[in-house]
Amino acid sequence: MQKMEEAWWDQFRDGHIGIQLCEKCAISQFPPGNMCRGCGSQTGLSIHALGNEPVKVSAKTVVARAVTPLAERSVPYILATFCTASGVRITLPTCRVKTVRERNIDGDSTQVRKTMEAMRDAGQTLEVTVCDCERLLVPHVSAMECGVKK
């Protein structure tokens, strides 16, 4: 048996961003857990991929200075918080988000930030899918290696 967290990162490695759905109350949640934080149910929880669900940008930040080894190797990078229509929030490095990358394939962090800002201002929705880009954050905790080759 695998830890739930490890299973989530395995799926991420395969290109899926997992959101947990509670069958009992139909609430989705992220991060996943062994109980529904809405109704308390401990059964009927399943992970489905965010893939086709439209999301909006609700926050973003350009990390320019860092102190931890992983982040220090990766600066500058952008983290963005995306929000689904059902209110689930998930924060990801935008270099791993296909939609964002496709529009700024050669963009520097300022350009990416401006694009994200424009998307948010316009209330535009986007699909968040994981891309296998080369410029990415590599988790420094070995159990959580996201596995995409650098």
Partner 1 sequence: MTLQTDPQIVGVGETKVGKHPTETPNSLATDVARKALFDAGRDWADIDGLIVMEPIVDKHPRHALAMAETFGISSNLRFAQTVNMGGASPALAVKQAFDAISAKAANNILVIASDTPRTGQDRKESVAYFSNQRHPWWEQPIGMLNVTAYGLLADEYQHRYHLEPESMLSIPVALRAHATKNWNAAYTDPLSYVDARQSRYVSHPLRLVECSPINDGAAALLISAEKNQNSKPGIGIAGSGFGTDYDSYTYRLDRQEAAGARSAKSAIDQSRRSVGGGDLLMVYDSYSIAMALQLESLGVSEPGQAANDFANGRFNVDGDLVVNPHGGLLSHGHCGGAAGMHHITELVKQLRNEADQQVSIENGYAYYQAEGGILSANATICFEYLEK
Chain contacts with partner 1 (rule: CB under 8 A): 5, 8-9, 30-31, 58-68, 70-71, 74, 77, 79, 81, 83, 87, 89-93, 113, 120, 137, 139-141, 144, 146
CB of 83 to partner 1, least distance (A): 6
Read off φ and ψ for residue 45, nearest 5 degrees.
Answer: -105, 125
| Cβ nearer to partner 1, comparing 46 with 61 | 61
The least distance separating partner 1 from the CB of residue 1, rounded to whole angstroms, comes to 17
Q: How far is the CB of 21 from partner 1 (least distance, A)?
A: 16
Between residues 106 and 121, which has the closer beta carbon with respect to partner 1? 121
Q: How far is the CB of 121 from partner 1 (least distance, A)?
A: 8
Instruction: Write down the least CB distance from residue 84 to partner 1, Å.
Output: 10
- For every residue of the chain, which 3-state class applies, written as one string? CCCHHHHHHHHHHCCCCEEEEECCCCCEECCCCCCCCCCCCCCCEEEEECCCCEEEEEEEEEECCCCCHHHHHHCCEEEEEEEECCCCEEEEEHHHEHHHHHHCCCCCHHHHHHHHHHHHHCCCCEECCECCCCCCCCCCCHHHCCCCCC
**26 or 59, CB closer to partner 1?**
59
From residue 116, how far is each of 66, 90, 92, 112 by CA, in Å?
A: 22, 15, 13, 6
- Pick between residue 9 and residue 100 the one whose CB is nearest to partner 1: 9
